[in-house]
Structure formats: structure tokens, C-alpha cells
Amino acid sequence: MSTELIIKSVSRYIQLSDDEKNYFVSLLQPKTIKRKHFVLREGQVCKYSTFVLSGCLRGFTLDSNGFEHVLNFGPAGWWIADMYSLITQKPGILNIEALEDTEALTLSKTDQEKLYTKIPQFERFFRIITENSLVSYQQRLIDNLSLTAEDRFHNFCKRYPTLINGIPKKQIAAYIGVTPEFFSRMQHNLLKKDRNAPIKR
């Protein structure tokens, strides 16, 4: 397995010696997830954090009417887990599924705790990435409370620039909270607006 991407991601926030890097890497397990296969299903206890090397995962919930609501995407370079279940070790509510064939590295909760004990700098790393994630959720909640679907789509594009053309449109619709039909009409209108926009000179 290539660990270049995960080491690069960690090195953005903490400086590790070669020994520390090797110890960290020794705790990671490679995982291949075929398209449409699940990493986690609602009701299971989440025992791993998953770091995506290539491909894409998505975390979603199903409501009582059977509608899917996408909580997050995990493209290359992102961590994904059911945080509630990972922390409490109670059954979670998230389904995590591969949108395409995905290569990932997993870190078990047990090994993550070992890591904190052996290399306390990882407390810092996970504090910072959790803070960044918290900010994204705060922003997304504000978007959901106060923005139109069109503005929520613009923010999706900013957050996941690599996904706009890479994943099915119905997944984007389930993320911004509209039906696929509404999403198609909206995209059609946005394109029309773009075509009619005055040319900047």
C-alpha cells in the first residue's frame, strides 16, 4: 500500500520522526472496497476511522420515509467514520458506501488510542482535523437553515471541487437536500443563466 498521501496529510499539522512515521504506518490496515459495497451499515458499531487513498466513499442516513440524506463524502485524502458510534461504541446511524472502487487505510479505535499514548502529537493532529470538520458542519448547518438550494450547491462545489463531475448527480442532490428532479431543473436554469450573463471585458 502507498502511505505517501496519509503521511503528507499528517505532516501538514505535526512533525514526526521516521520512527514515529513507521509506527503510525504499522497501525494502518489496507482495505479495498468495491463500488456499491459498504464499509459500515446503520446499526453496526463503528470500530475504524477510514482514510481514503483513491476512489470515493459517502456517509448517508435513511429517514423513516426511505429517503437518503448524504452527510458527507470521502474522496482521496479525507477521513470518514460514524463519529458518534466511534466515540461511544454504540450502534451508529450512518451507512458508509463506496461510490466507486476505493482503496483506503483503516485505523482501529484501539490502535488510535495506542497512537495517542505512544505519540501524543497525534492528539494535536486529530484535534485540528476535528476542528476543521466541525467548522464545515457548522457552515453546512447554517447553509441548510438559511440558504437557497442554488447557494447550497455553490458551497458544495467549493467544498468538494473534485467531485462535481465525478459522482452521480442524485448523490449531490441528496447532499444539498433536494430531489434529483429539482436538482436537474436547477442545474439547467444555472447553465441558462450562465449563457445569458453579460460578457466581462
CA 176 and chain centroid, separation: 14
**Residue 144 CB, nearest distance to a copy of itself (Å)?**
5
The residue count for the chain: 201
Q: Is the Cβ of residue 28 or residue 147 nearer to a copy of itself in the bound state?
A: 147
Q: Is the Cβ of residue 113 or residue 181 nearer to a copy of itself in the bound state?
A: 113
62 backbone dihedrals φ, ψ, rounded to 5°: -110, 130
**Residue 137 CB, nearest distance to a copy of itself (Å)?**
4
Q: Are 24 and 115 in contact (CB under 8 A)?
A: yes
Please state, in angstroms and rounded to a whole number, the distance separating the CA atoms of residues 103 and 56: 9
Q: Are 39 and 60 in contact (CB under 8 A)?
A: no
Q: Which helix (H) or strand (E) holds 173?
A: helix 169-176
Q: Is the Cβ of residue 6 or residue 140 nearer to a copy of itself in the bound state?
A: 140
Spell out the alpha helix ranges (H) of 51-168. Answer: 83-88, 109-118, 121-146, 149-159
Q: Are 126 and 46 in contact (CB under 8 A)?
A: no
**Residue 121 CB, nearest distance to a copy of itself (Å)?**
8
Q: Is the Cβ of residue 123 or residue 181 nearer to a copy of itself in the bound state?
A: 123
Positions touching a copy of itself (CB under 8 A) are 61, 63-64, 67, 69, 71, 83-84, 87, 93, 116, 120, 123-124, 126-127, 130-135, 137-142, 144-147, 177
**Residue 88 CB, nearest distance to a copy of itself (Å)?**
8
Q: Is the Cβ of residue 26 or residue 64 nearer to a copy of itself in the bound state?
A: 64
**Residue 120 CB, nearest distance to a copy of itself (Å)?**
5
C-alpha cell at 153: 450547491
